[in-house]
A = this chain, B = another copy of it.
């Protein structure tokens, strides 16, 4: 939230905007030097829009079919794929994209419903490791079917194999 409406704004207001009176439309919405071209705008907004739509649809699907949030699902998935089905909190935080505090609460909830268990880390008494239970595995396998079907329907089937390969490379460019 903006505590200070404008005076302490670190960037100067564009000087070429004129009196800022109420002309209609997007004619004077922003100064030209900061505008995006049509293709730039379409690509960027398409990216945001596509992600937002797909995200809410798939999350809703997972929620109604299996009562799992994305966080729940990704945590169970990471544990299911992990060696012996267990991971330390620290290592679970990254794939789930949560801070440690958020993860503590998530794991606590998942433990309460019997999908995972917590145990002290044997080699480092500071650590805690979360281990997926059989119930957790069964649920995440069922949830995967739902989720991957959604991913296919909403994403993968919209592209040719060649396009997917190119997209993979292009998305890779966006990370790090």
Contacts and interface: CB of A to CB of B under 8 A. Distances in A.
A119 interface: no
A11 interface: yes
A171 B9 contact: no
Give the interface size bracket for A toward B.
Answer: 35 or more
A122 interface: no
Interface in A112-160: 113-115, 133-139, 141-142, 144-146, 148-149, 151, 154-156, 158-159
Given A44-B155, A80-B29, A49 B171 contact: yes
A80 B138 CA distance: 50
A80 to B, nearest CB: 6
Copies in the complex: 2
A138 B40 contact: no
Contacts of A25: 83
Given A31-B141, A39-B165, 14 more contacts: A1-B68, A2-B110, A2-B113, A5-B136, A10-B65, A11-B145, A13-B141, A22-B85, A36-B151, A39-B168, A47-B167, A47-B171, A54-B174, A158-B174
For the complex of A and B, 5 pairs with smallest distance between CB atoms: A46-B171, A42-B168, A50-B174, A11-B142, A5-B135
